[in-house]
């Protein structure tokens, strides 16, 4: 089962990339997505994370679903509802570890943690009849640009990263530990600026004093470079979903696609690893926001 899950998800991402499409950006430009785009939600309102976000975004696009809510057949039944006949479920995965106690040669016992992954099917609520009415409500209208941008400003400012403005390139410099961004006015839209900043700040989290993320990169464009760029891509997409921003494909995506395809074809676990690292980076950046709120609460 574990091998099938890795291969199935990887094959889907590869198929999208071969068409020049980025699975993590597809929901934003689709005509069937009304209102604010958010992460997929469980039946209890808790958001999915990591690789499951990509899988369910893709499933929503394929099925044309507007609702962010997903649940299992059994969860639907617990609401007194039923999945419509002929509807197909969509794969999500659950990863954890089990602890196994093994006897050593000297008679002592040693505990060993063994990772495992299992997959199960969920259905969008638009595939289910008879649920409580709140599951079928359409998303709230998109909040106005000024409010959304102000929220993004506060989020990124809370990181206290060294963000410098100027030039015509956006990048993170590990040597000086700063993010370089072109002037705000040079972007096509405010959303494009913040989506780019989210990408670069995801790179910023790899520093040894933060998440210490290293893929063995030796030179520009090698496999380690491609893996880190994939993490930054997904991290930016997750953050944009959290902040109600609309990411846009960058001008360098076409060049990256071939290197991402090579990585994914050589390693069916690569997209899972990238999504996990991206989620960890997004959570790390969210942590600064929580610290700021706590400090403001103490000051008040």
Instruction: Answer whether residue 296 shows pLDDT above 80.
Output: no
pLDDT value of position 251: 57
Mean pLDDT, range 47-64, rounded to an integer: 87
pLDDT value of position 80: 97
Tell me what the pLDDT averaged over the chain comes to.
Answer: 84
With cut-offs at 50, 70 and 90, classify the pLDDT of residue 149: confident
Cα–Cα distance for residue pair 90/122, rounded to 1 Å: 5
Query: Considering only 113-117, 169-173, 258-262, which range has the smallest mean pLDDT?
Result: 113-117
Radius of gyration of the chain (CA): 21
Structure tokens at 202: 């995801």
Distance from the first to the final alpha carbon of the chain: 53
CA angle 127, 131, 135 (to 5 degrees): 80
More confident residue, 205 or 8: 205
pLDDT value of position 11: 87
Per-residue pLDDT of 167-178, as tens digits, reads: 778 999 999 999
More confident residue, 154 or 187: 154
Most confident range, picked from 121-130, 161-170, 233-242: 121-130
Instruction: Answer whether residue 286 shows pLDDT above 80.
Output: yes
Most confident range, picked from 20-29, 91-100, 262-271: 262-271
Instruction: Answer whether residue 238 shows pLDDT above 70.
Output: yes
Instruction: Answer whether residue 208 shows pLDDT above 70.
Output: yes
Residues, the chain, total? 300
Phi, psi of 248 (to 5 degrees): -130, 145
Instruction: Answer whether residue 32 shows pLDDT above 70.
Output: no
HSE of 296 in the Cβ direction (CA atoms, 13 Å)?
8
pLDDT value of position 104: 79
Instruction: Answer whether residue 126 shows pLDDT above 80.
Output: yes
Q: Across the strands, what pairs with 171? A: 180
Instruction: Answer whether residue 279 shows pLDDT above 90.
Output: yes
More confident residue, 65 or 130: 130
CA angle 106, 110, 112 (to 5 degrees): 145
Q: Where does residue 119 fall: left (phi above 0), alpha (psi -120 to 50 degrees), or beta otherwise?
A: beta
Mean pLDDT, range 171-195, rounded to an integer: 88
> What pTM was estimated for this model as a whole?
0.77
């Amino acid at each position: 089962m574990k091998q099938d899950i890795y291969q199935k998800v990887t094959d889907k991402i590869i198929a999208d990339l071969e068409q020049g499409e980025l699975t993590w950006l597809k929901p934003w430009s689709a005509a069937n997505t009304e209102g604010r785009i958010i992460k997929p939600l469980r039946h209890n309102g808790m958001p999915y994370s990591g690789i499951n976000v990509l899988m369910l975004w893709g499933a929503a696009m394929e099925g044309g679903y507007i609702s962010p809510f997903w649940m299992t057949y059994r969860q639907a039944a617990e609401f007194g509802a039923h999945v419509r006949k002929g509807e197909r479920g969509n794969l999500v995965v659950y990863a954890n570890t089990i602890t196994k106690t093994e006897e050593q040669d000297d008679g002592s016992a040693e505990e060993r943690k063994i990772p495992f992954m299992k997959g199960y099917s969920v259905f969008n609520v638009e595939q289910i009849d008879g649920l409580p009415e709140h599951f079928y409500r359409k998303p709230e209208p998109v909040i106005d640009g000024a409010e959304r941008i102000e929220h993004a400003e506060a989020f990124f400012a809370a990181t206290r990263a060294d963000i410098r403005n100027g030039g015509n390139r956006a990048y993170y410099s590990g040597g000086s530990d700063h993010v370089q961004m072109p002037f705000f006015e040079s972007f096509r839209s405010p959303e494009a600026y913040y989506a780019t900043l989210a990408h670069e700040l995801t790179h910023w989290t790899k520093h040894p004093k933060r998440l210490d993320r290293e893929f063995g990169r030796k030179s520009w464009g090698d496999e380690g470079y491609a893996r880190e760029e994939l993490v930054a891509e997904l991290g930016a997409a997750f953050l944009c979903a959290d902040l109600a921003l609309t990411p846009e494909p960058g001008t360098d995506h076409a060049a990256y696609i071939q290197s991402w395809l090579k990585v994914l074809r050589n390693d069916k676990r690569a997209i899972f690893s990238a999504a996990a690292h991206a989620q960890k980076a997004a959570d790390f950046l969210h942590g600064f926001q929580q610290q700021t709120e706590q400090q403001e609460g103490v000051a008040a």
